[in-house]
Chain A
Amino acid sequence: MIEGISVLEAVNLGKRYRRTWGLQDCTLTIPKGRVAALVGPNGSGKSTLLRMAAGLSQPSVGTLRVLGRSPSPGTDDLRERVGYLDQDRPLYKGFRVVEMLRFGEMNNPTWNMDVAKNHLARLDIPLRSRVSDLSGGQQAQVALTLCLSKQPELLLLDEPGAALDPVAREDLLRLLMRQVADSESSVVLSTHALSDVAAICDYVVVLAHTRVVLSDDTEYIVETHRILSIVDDRDLALPPGITVIHEQHNARGRSLLVRVELPFNDDRWRVDRPTLEEIVLAYLRAGSPHGDGRDVDETEDGAR
């Protein structure tokens, strides 16, 4: 990997827990400067991948590079360059917000107190308040602020918006986007909210059953998928260069969510543009991963 081009690169990465795999055959590259989403059901491997990237757990097989280095608890420079926010957003509940900030400052050489205070002022969170007195949404904002104030090159966020009401989630994501606008940090976040993904993520990794089933630029994904539908002519063969991701039959016809590599011009089919949500859901519903679980983008699937 050439440093500076990708923030995270995995090759045949796998994590085995006692009896089961948490992540298998994971090969992917997340480019620098992106806001990348990891999406997939619970247990699909999102947290496993984030924890390994944060150096909190070690791969069982394969290789993983984060900002060009192998993450492990001992990789000190990664500790400063990478910010990780756990699902549980650990905070010291008895502390005041200002004490959390000082704690962050003491532990992080790259800490920027102005960033911390600006974010909190904008969110109307008083520095004197006790963490335990804050709402769930405010606690999440404080936890993210602590993470952002380290000024990391890469942010790894495990479901940052989970369990928040819509307004708090929106505020949290804007806080994050403002940081991206100001500091050009790269972000890898896991989420269940597909609508957020379409708005803020320019790279998407879909995981199903501990394997990566899709990994690409959001715009490219949207541009290369279509919904084809047809009435009556059930057996009409598809032109070459089309990969069927998900197929639905109804009484008089069928509809297919497909990946198209070439311009599609067969006017017997009605062609629609699916939303990113529809595409992601089609890959998740398709269930079994493509090929041997490698990035779908790299499999040479023709018409099926």
Chain B
Amino acid sequence: MEQYPSLTFRLDSQSGLAPYRQLVDQVRLAVRTGLLRDGDQLPSVREVVTQITINPNTVHRAYRELEHQGIAEGRAGLGTFITSRKRATLNVTERASLEQALRDWVIDARRAGIDEETIRELMRTVLRQDGTVRS
């Protein structure tokens, strides 16, 4: 019996977004809309490269990113699963876009050669200044 994949990805070459980000966004959207729920297994890398024409490294990269975001978790020898950890409390769309903007910023900062410590320091400074303004 043939089993349907939990999710079918698609790639838009015109989006200007790196393919791994498109996969990440599609999983996030699927979670938001209820297509994917806690404990669901994401298609294996091998399944994805059979579904769509994509570099397997890109799929690995996307799944690592989802793990990093706390949306999915890898279980050794089994695959990657949607997890319930750290579900966002604030508006999900808003959170996603804020996170995206911050990620862009971090990538730019790293390209500029700024190390993690300096990034944290900058973040602390900005938060502190923001706090001053509020109070």
A interface with B by C-beta (< 8 Å): 33-35, 170, 173-174, 177-178, 180-182, 195-196, 198-202, 218-220, 222-224, 261-263, 272-277
Contact = CB atoms under 8 A, between A and B. Distances in A.
Contacts, number: 75
B54 A177 contact: yes
B81 interface: no
Nearest to A227: B16
A223 B103 CA distance: 11
Nearest to A220: B111
A174 B53 contact: yes
B112 A261 contact: yes
Contacts of B13: 195, 198-199, 275-277
Contact of B53 (A177, A218, A224, A261): A177
Given A198-B19, A277-B13, 14 more contacts: A173-B53, A174-B49, A174-B50, A177-B49, A180-B57, A198-B11, A200-B54, A201-B55, A224-B111, A261-B111, A261-B112, A262-B112, A275-B15, A276-B13
11 contacts: A35-B55, A35-B57, A177-B54, A178-B50, A181-B49, A199-B11, A199-B19, A200-B54, A202-B55, A223-B111, A224-B111
**Size band of the B side of the interface?**
20 to 34
Contacts of A178: 46, 49-50
Interface in B26-51: 45-46, 49-50
B14 interface: yes
Nearest to A278: B16
B55 A199 contact: yes
Contacts of B107: 223
B57 A34 contact: yes
Contacts of B20: 219
A174 B52 CA distance: 7
Contacts of A201: 55
B56 interface: yes
